[in-house]
Structure 1
Amino acid sequence: MRIIAADVIVTSPDRNFVTLQLTTDDGVTGLGDATLNGRELAVVAYLREHVAPLLLDRDPHAIEDTWQFLYRSAYWRRGPVTMAAIAAVDMALWDIKAKVAGLPLYQLLGGASRRGALAYGHASGRDIPELLDSVREHLALGYRAIRIQTAVPGIDAVYGVAAQPSVDGVRYDYEPAQRGALPAEEDWDTRAYLRHLPGVFEAVRHEFGPELPLLHDGHHRMTPIQAARLGRDLEPYDLFWLEDCTPAENQDALRLVRSHTITPLAIGEVFNTVWDFQHLIRDQLIDYVRAAVTHAGGITPMRKILDYAAQYQIKSGIHGPTDISPVGMAAALHLDLAVHNFGIQEYMRHGDRTNEVFRQSFSFEGGLLHPGDQPGLGVTLDRAAAEAHPYRAAYLPYNRLKDGTVHDW
């Protein structure tokens, strides 16, 4: 069996997605997600111009060898563009291998370790009553764990609040990427945020009690000492985790945070390789690995990262927003079902147009996600539907402080 075609498909049903489709001489196809939010076309060029020609006539079953070849042969390693491209190849090869075996991918990863993967949804509101309504809506949808994000008085636009302008009239739980030639500018005030947030969690706990797992995303906007303060202030509300409390490129920053709070920490959605996690895992500075299969090089390296984390009782919390396509989401779910140290899975529902382009076998029942039992990843791509939605430029916003300084968003 040999690879005879490597097609890169760009589609924008509800947002932009980049998909790699590999085809073998036996007619078996495999899909991989290469979406990099706001920089999609950089990955398209990397795949079309540099990677696709290298895949032709290769053995699709040689997954490890192909991964090492793509990672090492370019000499220039790591980075989100490179790793998203490699991830797409890796997913597509696993999809092919599992289809040839006639098995859902999780069976090739060791079989199921659980009935399903606990998922959390994204509740948000412009004020506390609207937030509480959003939590109720998510509970009614079947979620058994909820991320809490809220507007902050004095700040015009805050990450994670769904009531802000939607994309093309299609309201997601929250999709910050906005169509247009330039990224939108938002404001930020960390002190206002730190004053406001504990009262929000007090209101949520008062309304929904102590049992509901609650999460919060700081989105890299705090200094280490600010993050330590927030983690400590939120301890009475028993968070499942505090995510991305400070930019984690500075690994020692998490040591300071850890020394001041016992609130569990989740880090890593912007990380690309095990090297980004090495010290955080070895020194037990985090509790959950937040990398995305799509951005960390695929299923093969993600399994290795999680196996390394398991040695330190650190669990998975794979990134799963709507800028991960249903293909990338399916890859995450197969890992979730197989690995022993599963923690929780982020789950944002895609829009109807996206679901028409990407037909999925995974299910969500009783708060648990399951990838389904179709051979392979369990996702098929409708090429005609994909072509009906051409690429449209879209960018994530960025923050400025009150004095005009560009800040982490």
Structure 2
Amino acid sequence: MKSESIDRAEVFVVGPDTEKHAWAEGMAGQHMANIVLRLTTHGGLEGIAGAAMITSHGFDLSVGETLRYLLPEIMNQTAAEREGLWHRFRNLGTPQVPQAQSLIDIALWDMTARQAGLPLYQLLGGARHKILSYASTPLLPDNMAYIDYVSERQREGFKAVKFHCWCNPARDLPMCEAAAKHFAGSGMELMLDVEQRYDLEGALKVGKRIGELGFRWFEAPVPDTNFAAYREIKRRSAVPIIAAGNTWVDLQQLAAGIELDCWSALRVDATICGGITPLRKIMGLAEAHGMSVEIQCWGYTLTQAANLHVMLAYQNCTYFEQPVPYPAFEHGALDVIRTDKDGYVHAPSGVGLGIRTDWDAIRSSAILNFEVRPKK
């Protein structure tokens, strides 16, 4: 029906004046652009999505500019054609900025759930309505700052924290030991993410020790492309090993990594792997191998929401990644996702993604804004 076909796409690359954080020694505060896509049908039905692009020194426009050339492909198409559109974009032949395709797919899923009058997680399967959360920290100045920070999160209700730290084994390991000692017996789960910045020797040393300390997992110890190193680290470490999740995002790549026994769990992001359509396939691939998918959620509220809905639709994900401090990640959202006093995040209450957008805030902070309409 013509009323269900897409008649308009609006793109906003938003560069808000929010607090900027770093996640490794020597890293400047990062500029996190929020790329928001709004699709509208001839009949007025909307679908929205948001993805982050994180860069040093300034806000990146590449996702928005890529959308300028992809969006004409979906004009006069419908949300019911998601699978075909995903295959069309996947096989363009030239690599694209991954968030661009992801945004289109997520907006189509949001539109589909709105049309059905359902929250997206229920449309996708509805396995549960809440999931445990971990606080994902910024870089902090010293060991005591991390202990104080985790203590604050624990008082708020968090039962798990993931450290972003200096990414230097000589500094990271003493901090991990101090934190493990301080929170021993408190029920607080600890994870470590070193942003793919260790070499194999450092990763083996730290992996062995934090396994002894009972850490929940060790994330991104070396570059994701180094399958051989991941296999060796996993073989020689007691702690579960997962990748960063931004490099190997295709089914065939992930299947190869599983076959080589590189990881204890998979890690991807709906806004980077191509959207919810491929993420559903990845969830099934992992389940078939008895693995979880520890989905990352780093970004503004719309990014968090897309990933949360998938987590709630399936059983094989253990934690929601809650970026903190909250305000830096909530610009442009009238509904936000926060961890409750018992350590859980809950499904948004509205239909689709369930996030109402502050369009005035989005427009006022946009550094690139354009629309695409069907050719006459």
Same topology, TM > 0.5: yes
Match of 2:134 among 120, 124, 139: 120
> In the alignment, what sits opposite 2:241?
265
Aligned: 1:242 with 2:218? yes
Q: For 2:320 and 2:273, locate their aligned partners in 1 and report how far apart those are by CA, in whole Å.
A: 16
TM-score by length of structure 2 reads 0.85
Sort the Cα spacing of 1:350 and 1:43 in 2 relative to 1 into closer, same or farther, 3 A: farther
Structure 1 unaligned blocks of 5 or more = 151-157, 160-192, 393-409
1:123-272 to structure 2, matched below 5 A, reads: 123=137, 125-150=140-165, 158=166, 193-210=168-185, 211-271=187-247, 272=249
Count residues with an aligned counterpart.
344
Is 1:104 equivalent to 2:147 in the alignment?
no
- Are the counterparts in 2 of residues 229 and 260 from structure 1 also a CA contact under 8 Å? no
Alpha-carbon deviations, 1:237-271, whole Å to 9, x = none? 11110000011212122111122112101114222
2:94 is matched with which residue: 65, 73, 76? 76
- The answer on whether the counterparts of 2:12 and 2:367 sit within 8 Å (CA) in structure 1 is no
Give deviations 1:5-56, integer Å, cap 9, x for gaps. Answer: 01111212234211111001121111122432227311111101x1111111
Quote the Cα distance in structure 2 between the aligned partners of 1:194 and 1:18: 34
Once residues 171 and 54 of structure 2 are traced to their aligned partners in structure 1, the CA distance between those partners, rounded to angstroms, is 30
Identity %: 26
1:125 corresponds to which letter in structure 2? L
Secondary structure at the residue paired with 1:247?
Answer: coil
How far did 1:127 drift?
2.1
Paired residue for 2:374?
none
When the two chains are superposed, the root-mean-square deviation of aligned CA atoms in Å is 2.1
Q: Distance in 2 between matches of 1:251 and 1:146?
A: 27
Verify the 8 A CA contact 1:17 1:40 in the aligned structure 2: no
SS in 2 for 1:347: strand
* CA-CA distance at 1:117 after TM superposition: 1.6
Task: Please state whether the residue corresponding to 2:79 is helix, strand or coil.
Answer: coil
Is the Cα–Cα contact under 8 Å of residues 286 and 314 in structure 1 kept in the other structure? no
Of residues 328, 349, 359, the one that matches 2:334 is: 359
Which position in structure 1 is the counterpart of 2:9? 6
- In structure 1, C-alpha distance between the alignment counterparts of 2:133 and 2:241, rounded to whole Å: 17
- Quick check: 378-387 or 128-137, which moved more? 378-387
Partner of 1:30: 47
- Gapped runs of 5+ residues in structure 2? 19-31, 369-376
Counterpart of 1:293 in structure 2 is: 270
For the residue of structure 1 that corresponds to 2:229, the secondary structure is helix
Q: Distance in 1 between matches of 2:258 and 2:74?
A: 34
Pick closer, same or farther for the CA change 1:209–1:353 going to 2, 3 Å: closer
Matched residue, 1:18: 35
| CA distance in structure 1 between the partners assigned to 2:351 and 2:239 by the alignment | 40
Once residues 129 and 158 of structure 2 are traced to their aligned partners in structure 1, the CA distance between those partners, rounded to angstroms, is: 16
Do structure 1's residue 66 and structure 2's residue 89 form an aligned pair?
A: no
What is the CA deviation profile of residues 116-161 of structure 1, one whole-angstrom value per residue up to 9, with x for unaligned ones?
Answer: 12111134532222221111111122211011344xxxxxxx36xx
Structure 1 pair 4/309, CA: closer, same or farther in 2 (3 Å)? Answer: same
Normalised by the length of structure 1, the TM-score is 0.79
* Cα shift at 1:326: 1.4
Asked if 1 retains the 8 angstrom alpha-carbon contact of 2:337 and 2:345, the reply is yes
